[in-house]
Structure 1
Amino acid sequence: MGRPKQFDPDVAVERAMDVFWRKGYAATSPQDLVDAIGIGKGSLYNAFGSKHALFERALRRYRDDQGAVLVELLERPGPVRERLREVLELLVAMDLADSDRRGCMAVNAAAEVAADDPAAAELVRRMLDRTEGAFRALIERGQRAGEIAADRDAAALGSLLVNTVVGLRLMVRVAEGPERLERVIDAVVDSV
């Protein structure tokens, strides 16, 4: 009898994240996960418990990786409107360059499973809250610097910006090109 195949759980979660991101939760079979990770079904269930538990770990990984990048970009120095435009354009460019047009895994999860999956909904909600907080902090920084009118509601603008990101990342999945997305970015940046 051979030894069980060893695998790195972090690599396994990364590979599972890619499958869930590309296919969605419902369309991802346990066999898809086994094939992507390179382990047997028994090892998959022994390591992660269930497909759903692995999905939650993949969502957390996405939140940690993608959320940290976005927050870091928003916290960079520079004029606030330029920073905002750069971040929105970067998200669109990354999504358009993705041959699978996966968009945002959190947005996809919200659309697909959040109504029936409180755990996934909570993970997505926390991710959106973090992003909204980063946008709000950017707006407040712009207000302190005199770039944005002090009487503008920073919380409302943060909500508008996170809603814009969600919309852009969903629209990119079916966009024929960047034109419509660029118009959205222009309008939002001009409105801040």
Structure 2
Amino acid sequence: MARSKEFEVHEVLDKAIHLFWTQGYEKTSMQELVELMGIHRKSIYDTFGDKRSLFMRALERYEMQQSSYVRLLIEKDIPIKQLIREMLELTVRCEGQPIGCFMVNSGVELGVLDPEVSSLVDENYMRTEELLASLILKGQQTGEIKADLDPTMNSQYLMNAWLGLRTMVKTTTDKQKLTNIIDISVSILD
């Protein structure tokens, strides 16, 4: 009879996310993962595969968590500009999480070297741009956002600003500077 797993997969995967997010893929060793996740090396290999497979699962789970949070924001029924502002501010808050964005960090570290990581990151960015474009269009329909804005071009601009924030938050402690960037980014919708 096979032994049942003595750990919750998502719980240990969240620990792996934290370590990969903090240190990056290359600087994270299997021994550090074993120690932080609190499970045996064999259990990691049996459940997730090798380090790279674990990393990919962690990146996919992170994407799912971020998407869930954005969906909760959208369900709040708040004005579109406020919703977009909250999405941008999410990057600056970093409450209880490593600084920056695991997706951006992974794309920068491995995007050129690993086509699968590059594809996952690129697909995430495209989905986010599509979401922003749909929010801009909805805001135009309600009269909250200027009707003459191109939703696609402006979603690309907002995505670039968001990616910039996700990088800058790692290099500056000047919250006012980050707030100014958010203010200017959202002002293009006026």
The counterpart of 1:136, out of the listed 133, 138, 141, is 133
1:181 aligned to which of 155, 178, 182? 178
Which letter does structure 2 place at the counterpart of 1:55? F
Structure 1 partner of 2:9: 9
| In structure 1, C-alpha distance between the alignment counterparts of 2:83 and 2:44, rounded to whole Å | 42
Shift of 1:127: 1.5
Deviation larger for 35-44 or 179-188: 35-44
Could you list the per-position Cα deviations for residues 51-77 of structure 1 after superposition, in whole angstroms to 9, with x for gaps in the alignment? 000000000000000122124324532
> Where in structure 2 are there 5+ consecutive unaligned residues?
none
Structure 1 stretches of 4+ with a deviation exceeding 3 A read 97-100
Per the alignment, in what secondary structure is the counterpart of residue 147 of structure 2?
A: coil
Q: Which runs of 5+ in 1 are unaligned?
A: none
In structure 2, C-alpha distance between the alignment counterparts of 1:133 and 1:67, rounded to whole Å = 13
Cα drift, residue 82 of structure 1: 2.3
Give the TM-score taking structure 1 as reference length: 0.89
Matched, 1:167 2:164: yes
Q: How much does 1:4 deviate?
A: 9.1
- How much does 1:90 deviate? 3.4
**Which residue matches 1:127?**
124
- Under a length normalisation based on structure 2, what TM-score does the superposition of the two structures give? 0.90
Number of positions where the alignment pairs a residue of Structure 1 with one of Structure 2: 187
Alignment of 1:1-192 (within 5 A): 6-74=6-74, 76-93=76-93, 95=94, 97-98=95-96, 100-101=98-99, 103-192=100-189
Superposed CA deviations along residues 104-162 of structure 1, whole A, max 9, x for unmatched, are 10000011011111111111112212211221111001110112222211011111111
